[in-house]
Amino acid sequence: MTPRMWAAGTLAVLVVGLVVYAAVVVPWHRPPAPRADQVAALKEFPAGQLARARAFHGALRPAGYGSMAIGLVGALLLGLTPLGARLVTLAGRPFGGHWIAQAVLGGLIVVLVVEVVTLPLAAWRHRVVVEYGISTQSWGAWAVDLVKSYAVGAVIGGLALLGFFAVTRAAPRWWWAFGAAGAALVVVLLSFVLPVVVEPIFNKFTPMADGPLRTELMQLAARDGVPVKDVLVADASRRTRAVNAYVSGFGPTRRIVVYDTMLTEATPDEVVSVAAHELGHAKRGDVLTGTIIGALGAAAAVIALYLLGSLGWLLRWAGTDSMGDPRAIALLIALVTIAGLAGGPVQAMVSRRIESRADAHALELTGDPATFEAMQRRLGTVNLSDPDPPAWEYVMSASHPSTVERIAAARAYARGER
């Protein structure tokens, strides 16, 4: 068997594995939130609030879709024409065309070109979130965040490119195998490392102060049988008025993080309701599930890229002769961009099912659908989310059930439907 046949076989095994794993682990058969309850909940939203939320999302849309479109066109323009390859060659020239300079600098320049072109749209977005009172950031603080995220992206991306092209050079025929294993490993590693190393670059995390709320949250976790190392408060208020909570990491790095905005905006009961949702994620190992799906997907993607490298016309378009050559960076990025856009709706659907199960967990754990509903209203009001977003947008990108769906689920629970 040739390396290519091995690659095709491995890809088939990974894809089947991914589909089977997702079929088994993702809670596909969640009962739908009763539509009648959704309609009733929507009618109860004050007309002014609904109009303001919709105006806010309408104002964000041009920048959001504009930047998606420009990002895609830019990636295709650089990746499916020799432009990207030329940029990479130029980046390596001061270093005698050394492959490391081409891989790292070339890769960063290709990404940066697209980032710079979409920068005005990011600024437009910031202006809108400030105008609607969601963001509390000055332009200076916004720019600092931007530079920080470029720096983090450059370090992670640079290391990934360096590793990738080191492997393609060392094993020109079998790099897909090492690359796939490496990509999967990186996904797992990032799950551990991001909350501990990267999140503190953007926010300060402090253990929630001792008091009735902390005691109640730790008791809730104990009652749920979920070992939680700590409940942390993030200083999100330096950036936003929005309220949120999440669980990240797993094993020794698992923590529940609550935005400090939530402690000032929401009642303690509502914080408990949100924490119960997060415990639902922890109990079902949703971070681990996401990590495994991500790792299998990353491994499959590397092999797919290798196999696409046998298409001579594609390489000629990109002005390179091999996927393993740094001059193919723009082509790799273009293909990954297309895959990301195509996979977005599937990812969102998987996420919505998992979120809906965490909601059900919160309702069962607290037995308090009234507070759950109040919290959903609070999230909707403070964050200016559209309680019932347009169907196409929901399908394309909604990571959570809509506010009216979540309220409807709470009402169904209150009636004893479960």
Instruction: Give contact residues for Zn ion (rule: CB under 5 A).
Output: 355, 358
CB 315 within 8 A of CB 82: no
Strands (DSSP E) along 31-93, which ranges? none
| Residue in 338, 340, 339, 304 with CA at minimum distance from that of residue 323 | 304
The one-character DSSP state at 132 is T
- Which of 360, 348, 364 has its CA nearest to residue 400? 348
How far apart CA 191 and CA 193 sit, in angstroms, is: 6
Measured from the CB of residue 384, what is the shortest distance to Zn ion in angstroms? 19
CB-wise, 282 or 299, nearer to Zn ion? Answer: 282
Residue 359 or 368: the one with the smaller Cβ distance to Zn ion is 359
The least CB distance from residue 281 to Zn ion, in Å, is: 6
**CA separation for the pair 316, 296 (Å, rounded):** 30
Least Cβ distance, residue 231 to Zn ion (angstroms): 15
Task: Pick between residue 37 and residue 359 the one whose CB is nearest to Zn ion.
Answer: 359
Instruction: Return the number of the residue (167 or 257) whose C-beta is nearest Zn ion.
Output: 257
The secondary structure of residue 30, as a DSSP letter, is P
Minimum Å distance from CB 413 to Zn ion?
17
Which residue, 114 or 220, is less far from Zn ion as judged by CB? 220
Cross-strand pairs, 259: 234
CA distance 121 to 111: 16
CB of 276 to Zn ion, least distance (A): 11
Question: Is 208 or 247 the residue whose CB approaches Zn ion more closely?
Answer: 247
DSSP assignment letter at 319: T
Distance CA 173, CA 176 (A): 8
What burial letters (b/e) apply to 266-288, b meaning 16+ CB within 10 Å? beebbbbbbbbbbbbbbbbebbb
Closest CB 27 distance from Zn ion, rounded Å: 13
Looking at the Cβ atoms of 76 and 358, the one nearer to Zn ion is 358
Q: How far is the CB of 247 from Zn ion (least distance, A)?
A: 8
Burial 401-410 (b: 16+ CB within 10 A, else e): bbbbbbbbbb
